[in-house]
């Protein structure tokens, strides 16, 4: 099986599974029924076409005219939810948009809200209590790891600034900046005096 159809099929299956798991997303999908949106992903230099009906069909090749065409980086997609951002992104050359702006916003909202509910999926296999315990345990482990990393970063910063003196401490940096400002103002005063002397000579 060629690579591109495999990728589009995986995207299509994932999106439809995620949408069908959330009644709110199903309602949003119904509002997009009959629309065709083409998205050019700059990172991959690939164009995907999303056709909305009772489900989402994802095509790698599409000959027709889409209702909306977007060219962007994936990281920009969540920003399309706000209409004010669209104009800003176009001016910054981060987005090319042809067609219906509101359709682009609805598409962005649907795509960014398609997030897997791991606890819901686990509960189908293990039951609600086990799924909740596993997900909560994973969150707790994640929080513990984040705290440990932050603690080690703080410790490393203290070692570098206070013990090894490799980097200056925050107070030393502030003092140095104050000294630079003082030298600048003194130089400005001296320059002003010299200019007055030259003018009077």
Identify whether residues 28 and 125 lie together within a single domain.
no
Identify whether residues 112 and 124 lie together within a single domain.
no
Identify whether residues 17 and 67 lie together within a single domain.
yes
Sheet holding 36-41, edge to edge: 56-59, 46-52, 36-41, 68-72, 95-99
What integer pLDDT is reported at residue 23 of this predicted model? 86
Identify whether residues 129 and 192 lie together within a single domain.
yes
The string of pLDDT tens digits covering residues 79-125 is 887 777 888 888 888 889 899 888 888 888 888 887 765 556 556 66
Give residue 104's domain range: 3-116
CATH of the domain at 110: 3.30.1050.10
Q: Which of 160, 134, 117 is nearest to 19 (CA)?
A: 117
Q: Which residues of the chain have pLDDT under 50?
A: 1
Give the position of tokens 């206070």.
162
What integer pLDDT is reported at residue 69 of this predicted model? 93
Domain boundary among 86, 116, 146: 116
What integer pLDDT is reported at residue 56 of this predicted model? 92
Domain boundary among 116, 141, 157: 116
Identify whether residues 35 and 104 lie together within a single domain.
yes
Domain boundary among 116, 132, 158: 116
Domain count, the chain: 2
What integer pLDDT is reported at residue 1 of this predicted model? 42
Separation CA 143–CA 64 (nearest Å): 48
What integer pLDDT is reported at residue 123 of this predicted model? 62
Identify whether residues 99 and 151 lie together within a single domain.
no
Identify whether residues 89 and 14 lie together within a single domain.
yes
Identify whether residues 103 and 133 lie together within a single domain.
no
Separation CA 10–CA 13 (nearest Å): 5
Chain-centre distance for alpha carbon 158:
32
Q: State whether residue 44 is helix, strand or coil.
A: coil
Identify whether residues 108 and 156 lie together within a single domain.
no
Separation CA 66–CA 35 (nearest Å): 8
- Do 47 and 58 contact (CB within 8 A), yes or no? no
Identify whether residues 69 and 41 lie together within a single domain.
yes
**What is the residue-wise DSSP string for 118-185?**
HHHHHHHHH-HHHHHHHHHHHHHHHHHHHHHHHHHHHHHHHIIIIIS-SS--HHHHHHHHHHHHHHHH
Identify whether residues 179 and 190 lie together within a single domain.
yes
Identify whether residues 187 and 162 lie together within a single domain.
yes
């Amino acid at each position: 099986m060629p690579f591109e159809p495999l990728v589009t099929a995986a995207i299509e299956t994932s999106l439809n599974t995620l949408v069908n798991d959330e009644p709110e997303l199903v309602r949003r999908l119904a509002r997009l029924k009959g629309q065709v949106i083409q998205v050019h992903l700059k990172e991959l230099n690939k164009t995907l076409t999303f056709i909305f009906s009772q489900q989402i069909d994802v095509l790698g090749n599409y000959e027709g005219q889409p209702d909306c065409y977007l060219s962007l980086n994936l990281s920009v997609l969540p920003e399309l939810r706000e209409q004010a951002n669209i104009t800003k992104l176009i001016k910054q050359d981060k987005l090319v948009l042809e067609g219906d702006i509101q359709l682009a916003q609805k598409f962005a909202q649907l795509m960014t809200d398609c997030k897997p509910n791991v606890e819901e999926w686990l509960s189908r296999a293990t039951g609600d209590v086990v799924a909740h315990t596993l997900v909560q345990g994973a969150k707790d482990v994640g929080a513990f790891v984040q705290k440990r990393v932050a603690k080690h970063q703080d410790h490393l910063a203290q070692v570098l600034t206070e013990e090894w003196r490799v980097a200056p401490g925050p107070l030393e940096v502030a003092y140095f900046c104050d000294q630079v400002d003082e030298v600048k103002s003194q130089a400005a005063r001296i320059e002003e005096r010299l200019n007055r002397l030259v003018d009077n000579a």
